[in-house]
Amino acid sequence: MTETLGIILGVIVAYLIGSIPFGYLMGRLGGIDIRRWGSRNVGATNVARVLGIRRGAVVLVLDVLKGAAAAGLVGRGFAGPFDIAEGHRALLLVLCGAAAILGHTFPCWLRFKGGKGVATALGVWLVLSPVATLIALAVWGLLVAIWRYVSLGSIVAAAVLPGALFSLHYSHLRAVLPQLVFAGLLAALVIVRHRSNIVRLARGTENKIGRISVKATRAPKPTDS
């Protein structure tokens, strides 16, 4: 009973940490509702395009840190006080990490309309599997450097992560099965959340880094219905 309570509380706390909308808050500090500008996304990429690279970088770091905090501090911190069995601790880390990503993607504070979860997922996976994460991050950096499409880098990096994890742990897959399943589901979530970007990439209309003007990209103010 204590173990179950610990897992449930850990997931709830991790979700609440993940749902902190740093991009939205940064927009408010800049005097705007970021959801009405650029791509209308509350993620770091849109903040960087609309409010500048520095503010976007701050949001990126904060989104990464909240993912790491949810998986590391919550996932590991709840294991001891709630007597989580050794065999269940890896599962607790995965569940807390997943909850943080879902919190970022579907934050309760913004009517469950959040970012795409890539930066928060990066923080989570730096805790779960640093080497596999660095491989995926290198792929992301290479693609963004060559083609300047953040969305393309994010989609491919998410798809690479399960393969990297499998390659690193193929001799003891049972031990990392929760992480492998999580990585596969995460890749699917990232691809689904980027479906509009995929359409624009296919049409050649996707925005590249540094190509968006704030004046040209303000979204129309929604009307009440």
Residue 2 has pLDDT above 70, yes or no: yes
pTM assigned to the model: 0.87
The pLDDT tens digits for 40-60 are: 999 999 999 999 999 999 999
H helix or E strand, kind and range, residue 198: helix 195-203
- Collapsed DSSP state (helix, strand, coil) of residue 43: coil
Q: Residue 1's pLDDT band (boundaries 50, 70, 90)?
A: low
Closest CA to 37 of 47, 25, 28: 47
